Amino acid sequence: MISAALVMLMVPAVGLFYGGMVRKKNVISTIMLSFAILALISIQWVLYGYSLAFGPDRGGIIGGLEWAGLLNVGQEPSSIYATSIPHFTFMIFQAMFAVIAVALITGAFVERIKFSAFLLFSLLWATFVYDPIAHWVWGAGGWLAKLGALDFAGGTVVHISSGVSALAFVLVIGARKGFGKVPMESHDVPMAVIGAVLLWFGWFGFNAGSALAANGVAASAFVVTNTAAAAAALTWMVLSWINRKPSVLGIATGAIAGLAAITPASGFVSPLAAIAIGVGAGIICYSALLLKAKLGIDESLDVWGVHGMGGTWGTIAIGIFASTLVNTAGSNGLIYGNPSQLVVQTVAVAVVWVYSFVVTFALAKILDATIGLRVGAEEEEVGLDISQHGERAYS
């Protein structure tokens, strides 16, 4: 339950992280997106989301609705999931994962999204993208789980799904007005750094909590989480230093990249492997940002570059570094003489990439053609704080 509360803190932390990086006229809007998601998806999860993701299996594809409204979910431990803790505890912990996944995507379309379209999209995305993928990977009977794909705390389910969806979404909504012509300066870097630090803090609940018990695996996950974040932060700092100067937004972004990468692997790898994963995450995500800049895509706050690519690297890294010495419920990776795990991990990555991209692209296209995804040009220029919410952050 404490872990669930820690993950809950990550949701407004995403709001602060993103809010600091947007322009002054859009900070309320950006923070509001995360807050609204916390409220909306919490309800969705109780009503039917949890049941779709974790309810009794239907052909490995989706959960049945037997647990809708949390019917048949109670204070007693579940016989299938986390059998040592109350079923409610498992359910609410998972609720926060669903919330954070949707909140992460908001970084892609800040400063131009129409609020009503955003709410509808979030609800549809949670229902048609997150819930099925969560079932495939974590649900009892899910087909990727049966295949042997490992994802300790959400590299595929949370980070690849949200990161790749972010990319698909911006290909539909398009760039911010003036993108590439006028500087889109972060209006409050300290706010972004506070957000990043709170994310790092909450991430201990995210990863260590995914052991679903206060045991050795939880402790190991805690250690590798911190180690990978630190390694990636240092890597990014050095990269920014080589190019210009050691950047604080850079070191913070690096930490998030490292956290995203270690997420799927956190229950299966050793601390030294975590350093390798962290350094890899720093280099891969930094390169992804450079590539994105070269392509001129306005995926505004790098959800794809940091979470999508970080999650991809981490999920594949399981196939390289995983060891049953760390977790007997896990598997051995390439360097422990089991190349087949690498194949399974790559398949899981490919499946989640394709599914997230295709479904999100379709959802965004449909919404764009019906209610419209963007605010009007004038509203965008004035800023979403005033045009969408009738408030301003600083008077």
Q: Which is nearer to another protein, 57 or 111 (CB)?
A: 111
Minimum distance between the CB of residue 253 and another protein, rounded to whole angstroms?
Answer: 5
Of 108, 105, 114, the C-alpha closest to 377 is 114
Q: Which is nearer to another protein, 52 or 303 (CB)?
A: 303
How far is residue 158's CA from residue 259's CA, in Å, rounded to a whole number? 12
How far is residue 385's CA from residue 35's CA, in Å, rounded to a whole number? 14
The reply to whether 382 sits near another protein by the rule CB under 8 A is no
| CB 42, CB 57: distance < 8 Å | no
- Member of 299, 302, 380, 385 binding another protein (CB under 8 A): 302
Q: By rule CB under 8 A, what string of x and - marks binding of each residue 173-202 to another protein?
A: ----------xxxx----------------
Q: Which is nearer to another protein, 105 or 252 (CB)?
A: 252
The reply to whether 222 sits near another protein by the rule CB under 8 A is no
How far is residue 171's CA from residue 19's CA, in Å, rounded to a whole number? 22
Stretch that binds another protein, among 161-169, 259-267, 285-293, 381-389 (CB under 8 A): 285-293
Of 244, 249, 317, 241, the C-alpha closest to 278 is 317
Q: Which is nearer to another protein, 217 or 237 (CB)?
A: 237
Q: Is residue 195 left, alpha or beta, with left meaning phi > 0 and alpha meaning psi from -120 to 50?
A: alpha
The reply to whether 293 sits near another protein by the rule CB under 8 A is yes
How far is residue 381's CA from residue 387's CA, in Å, rounded to a whole number? 9
SS (H, E, C) 289-308: HHHHHHHCCCCCCCHHHHHH
| CB 152, CB 210: distance < 8 Å | yes
The reply to whether 111 sits near another protein by the rule CB under 8 A is no
How many angstroms from the chain centroid is the CA of residue 387? 28
Q: Which is nearer to another protein, 79 or 244 (CB)?
A: 244
Q: Which is nearer to another protein, 184 or 230 (CB)?
A: 184
How far is residue 60's CA from residue 139's CA, in Å, rounded to a whole number? 8
The reply to whether 96 sits near another protein by the rule CB under 8 A is no
- Member of 218, 289, 316, 351 binding another protein (CB under 8 A): 289
Q: Which of residues 233-252 bind another protein (CB under 8 A)?
A: 239-240, 243-245, 247, 249-250
The reply to whether 20 sits near another protein by the rule CB under 8 A is no
How many angstroms from the chain centroid is the CA of residue 77? 27
The reply to whether 57 sits near another protein by the rule CB under 8 A is no
Return residues touching another protein (CB under 8 A): 183-186, 239-240, 243-245, 247, 249-250, 253, 286, 289-290, 293, 302
